[in-house]
Amino acid sequence: MDRMPPWADAVLVPLISLLLAAVLSALVILGIGEDPVAAVKLMVTGALGSSYGWGYTLYYATNFLFTGLAFAVASHAGLFNIGAEGQAMIGGLGVALVCLAIPWPHWALALPAAIAGAAVFGALWALIPAWLQARRGSHIVITTIMFNFIAAAVLNYMLVNILRPTGSMDPATAKFPEGAHLPTLHDLLAPFGIGFSKAAPANVSLLVAVTACVLVWVLIWRTRLGFEIRALGQSEGASRYAGIPPVKTVVVAMLISGGLAGCMAINNVMGEAERLILNATEGAGFIGIAVALMGRNHPAGVFLAAILFGFLYQGGAELALWTSIPRELIVVIQALVILFTGALDNMVRMPLERLFLALRKGRRA
């Protein structure tokens, strides 16, 4: 009874939280002696003012879509998957192994194979934490954190000792064959007569990510498995009573989550770098947490949040290029978004709930 109307819960609370984060970010910019209005203007023109800027914004957004969806799916099952970073790293290994295995004739053949490789590797990396959580009760947050570090060590070993081409000093794989190069948005839009920057890295993976959004929506809200996942996340006791197998559901939810995180690699490894390098994920796995929190774990929300974070990342890079504001400003903004939309959610929610309650009482009186 003491609830708010659904629209307030879905739109008003996140919006106010976001506003608070924005105000604090502006104060931080002021604090280091820069002009927040000029900074925002520069970010908007840099990230959205040209097809080059859009190309980078969408490229980053593609990464965050995958990791955001990964976190959201696990969240629906009541699991806090902080391991998307490691799963995306190992997904990159899967993509590299697939791309280097045979001389691919065409990207249309290479892409499905690479998606499979990325998803399987990412999912397998989530399997052990999932199984330990479901069977042995080991806290999934701790195990996935540990698996992030183990993934970094595995990747380091594979790149330095095994996958590095002979004679190369660089800890990276060889360049992927020509047939495994994904078309960029420039290549995709040219046949329609739309001009798009040639240099920007946004590529066909964006379409894969958007498809993944739709599939996740169908999975969570339109299938029996999705219902089971949500039921388990809401109440383990009730779902067990309803005959939903908890171990299986936890493991399957984490496999899907890990697979989605792994799929990020088709964008950053196959689409952009076209070879596997150390630290290819650049923290995108953790940004997925912010994206999912802001998007309220709904694919549509995740989509919007991913675009916003893509904008922040490209805008932040432009800021670092043209002003003395370091790129780390984006990390601060990201922290504030996580803080206000996640941890301090009740700070906004409690007064709002009281306000709506008072309004309702007033109407009845």
By CB under 8 A, name the binding residues for other proteins: 28, 31-33, 80, 82, 128, 132, 136-139, 141-143, 145-147, 149-150, 153-154, 156-157, 160-161, 286, 289, 293, 324-326, 328-336, 338-339, 342-347, 350
How near is the Cβ of 218 to other proteins at its closest, in Å?
27
Which stretch of DSSP H or E encloses residue 188? Answer: helix 185-189
Crossing angle for the helix pair 205-222 and 224-234, to the nearest 10 degrees: 70
- C-beta closer to other proteins: residue 171 or 201: 171
160/238 with CB nearer other proteins: 160
Q: Which is nearer to other proteins, 188 or 335 (CB)?
A: 335
Closest distance to other proteins from the beta carbon of 124 (Å): 15
Other Cβ atoms less than 10 A from the Cβ of 182: the count is 23
DSSP line for 301-330: HHHHHHHHHHHHHHHHHHHHHHSS--THHH
* CA distance linking residue 3 with residue 20, whole number of Å: 22
> Least CB distance from residue 170 to other proteins, whole Å?
17
Largest CA distance in the chain: 82
Residue 118 CB, nearest approach to other proteins (Å): 22
Smallest CA-to-CA distance from 282 within 294, 296, 272, 293 is with: 272
Q: Which is nearer to other proteins, 266 or 330 (CB)?
A: 330
Name the β-bridge partners of 172.
277
Residue closer to other proteins, measured from CB, 151 or 185 = 151
Nearest CA-CA partner of 115 in 144, 95, 97: 95
Q: How far is the CB of 109 from other proteins (least distance, A)?
A: 34
Could you please report the per-residue DSSP string of 88-142?
HHHHHHHHHHHHHHS--S-HHHHHHHHHHHHHHHHHHHHHHHHHIIIII---HHH
Instruction: Give min distance, CB of 224 to other proteins, in A.
Output: 28
Q: Smallest distance from the beta carbon of 119 to other proteins, in angstroms?
A: 23
For other proteins, the closer CB: 78 or 91: 78
Residue 147 parent element (H or E):
helix 140-157
- CB closer to other proteins out of 155 and 219: 155
Cα–Cα nearest to 296, from 8, 1, 3, 96: 8
